[in-house]
Amino acid sequence: MKPLKPAASEAKSRAAAKGKQTEKKPAKELVILTGISGAGKASALKAFEDLGYHCVDNLPLELLLNFANLVSKSAEVNQAAIVVDVREGPTVDRLPDILKGVKKLLHTRVVFLDAQDAALVRRYSETRRPHPLGKSETVWRSIVEERQLLDPIRNVAETLIDTSIFNVHELRAYIQDRYGREQKVNRLLVSCLSFGFKNGVPLDADMVFDVRFLPNPHFVPEFRKKTGLDKKVADYVRGFPQTGEFLDRVTDLMLYLLPHYVKEGKSYLTIAFGCTGGQHRSVMMAEEMALRLAKAEYQVKALHRDIVK
């Protein structure tokens, strides 16, 4: 006797129940902001708040484990950021041990903000705030003492941010760009950038490849006023055997490196290709590399710094 098939409504109910079981909940995350006084922790915390994190300043260490437990069970809070610093007192060095329990409950990362001593002294001078370690010592002496107290925490931080060159607005923009991008994408964003060496190497490039070894289309009259975005120019550059071999070798290198960058938590990577003027060879290379990495299912975009508008 053949088994009876469930009614359509019952089948739909089972399918819906199965969908609910397999539906992934948003990952819970805790960011612990710490670091040297005057390095910008308050500004960074405000940036996380703007990104939608539940934020707490100066949470006592004895409450940290309870706080993490509450976040892990909360239906309302998926992301939280807290500041733990020298205001805790000499017992702040307990944080690394407490972290072991916290990381069992939540995906946790420690972000340590620092700045050069001269920048810290200047900030205290401008704001006329006393250092949290007291008024009896000079700011210089207090900074030295604070570094000693926070050294165990610095050693367990996943991210170190030097804020020496940032003002308040730049720091907040940096935090929002870095961690906001992770919220939206939660994966590595690769930028393939073309540039011309005559205008300088881009400062934000993580890797730079010099493609001036290829014949220059600039010396072909019909290509001089065109760019590497033009199909004829691209075909000309692509027509040399060394072009294909170079692209294959760099592609193999990137497909090896990118998973390791993802594993280390890198949010974005800039691969720069440079030629003399940034018009022909580098443009074609950046476009081609972007296509290859997109085919490998990476989020990628091609950018051209020096291309003629």
Q: Over 80: is that where the pLDDT of 12 sits?
A: no
Output the pLDDT for position 21.
42
Q: Over 70: is that where the pLDDT of 22 sits?
A: no
At 183, the pLDDT band (50, 70, 90 cuts) reads low
Q: Give me the mean pLDDT over the 7-28 stretch.
A: 49
- At 277-304, the pLDDT tens digits run 999 999 999 999 999 999 998 889 999 9
- At 124-175, the pLDDT tens digits run 888 777 788 876 678 888 888 889 889 888 888 888 888 888 888 888 888 8
Longest dimension (CA), the chain: 92
Domains of the chain by range and CATH? Answer: 29-185 (3.40.50.300), 189-304 (no CATH)
Output the pLDDT for position 65.
93
* Residue owning tokens 């340590």: 112
Output the pLDDT for position 101.
92
Q: Give me the mean pLDDT over the 245-259 stretch.
A: 95
Output the pLDDT for position 165.
82
- At 74-130, the pLDDT tens digits run 888 889 999 998 888 888 888 999 999 999 999 999 999 998 888 888 888 887 777
Output the pLDDT for position 93.
85
Output the pLDDT for position 288.
96
CB atoms within 10 A of CB 218: 17
The tokens for 193 are 């950038």
Output the pLDDT for position 20.
43
Q: Over 50: is that where the pLDDT of 5 sits?
A: no
Contact in structure between 121 and 181 (CB atoms under 8 Å): no
Q: Over 50: is that where the pLDDT of 3 sits?
A: no
Ramachandran quadrant class, 151 (left: phi over 0; alpha: psi -120 to 50; beta: rest): alpha
Output the pLDDT for position 268.
80
Least confident of 15-24, 58-67, 83-92, 180-189: 15-24
At 192, the pLDDT band (50, 70, 90 cuts) reads very high
Assessment of whether the complete model's pTM goes beyond 0.75: no
Picking from 119, 233, 231, the residue whose alpha carbon sits closest to that of residue 170 is: 119
Q: Over 70: is that where the pLDDT of 210 sits?
A: yes
Least confident of 129-143, 191-205, 249-263: 129-143
Output the pLDDT for position 24.
45
Q: Give the separation between CA 286 and CA 299, rounded to whole angstroms.
A: 14
Question: Any bridge partners for residue 270, and if so which?
Answer: 191
At 184, the pLDDT band (50, 70, 90 cuts) reads low
Could you tell me which residues come within 8 angstroms of residue 106 by beta carbon, excluding any fewer than 6 positions away? 28, 29, 30, 68, 71, 72
Q: Give me the mean pLDDT over the 179-201 stretch.
A: 79
* Residue owning tokens 């995350």: 29
**What are the C-alpha distances in Å from 302 to residues 12, 252, 253, 298?**
45, 19, 18, 13
